[in-house]
Amino acid sequence: MVRVRDLDGSGTGNNPPPGTISLVLIRTKLASDDGACVAVMERTHAVDGYPRYWPAKPTRFLRAQGETDAWVAVVEEGSGDGPDGPSGRVVGQVALHRAEREPVLALAQEATGLPAERLAVLARLLVHPDARGRGVGRALVRTATARAYATGRRAVLDVLQSTTGPARLYESEGWTRLGPTSLDLSGFGYGPVPPLQLWVYLSPDG
């Protein structure tokens, strides 16, 4: 578990306003967190358009078949039992997926020369709009990236070209944009929708 205070660089984390987030805990995602993570995704879909198309089975979308690791961000708000108890609220999540058959694979292998099993895809990064600006997303990215390094893998990801906020976060963490790719969603149950236009990013060499 990782406890986080204000990683956004604003310097405001030591004195949060009354009633706002005072502590963030990053911990392994549990099956019991699935409903809360879907609720966070409902908000990111409404506010940011991520995911671009709402999945027919949202829990399965967040628990993809290729998942190897996953974490949630839980906040303590006001008084109560703390992040591990009833007063804790899930405000974000992130996962690592196997790289085989992922749209990032070709560019990542071209850039690194690594086999697919030495790559890990950072995916399903979500942060509730109410919890932003306090380093929650940054802490989730760092946790997933560190886990990839610790297990002999290098992290890579894709992000919608139309969303600039996440790209700024990755670049501020030293990630390198490798180039564009696309994801054809035919066969995924979304109907006749256009392919997703994505940027591929590679984590710093650990």
The domain that contains 52 carries what CATH number? Answer: 3.40.630.30
CA distance 145 to 122: 8
The CA distances from residue 156 to 90, 165, 176, in Å, are 25, 17, 9
Q: Which residues of 101-123 are buried (b: 16+ CB within 10 A; e: fewer)?
A: ebbbbebbbeeeeeebebbbbbb
pLDDT at 18: 41
pLDDT at 69: 98
Q: What is the largest CA-CA distance in the chain?
A: 51
> What phi and psi values does residue 162 have, to the nearest 5 degrees?
-85, -10
Q: What is the mean pLDDT of each run of 10 residues along the chain (206 residues)?
A: 57 43 86 97 96 95 96 77 61 98 96 98 97 94 98 98 93 98 90 94 92
pLDDT at 122: 98
Total of domains in the chain:
1
Which residues have C-beta within 8 Å of that of residue 154, sequence separation ≥ 6?
108, 112, 114, 118, 119, 120, 148, 202, 203, 205, 206
Mapping DSSP onto H, E and C, the string for 82-101 reads CCCCCCEEEEEEEEEEECCC
pLDDT at 85: 46
The whole domain housing 196 covers 2-202
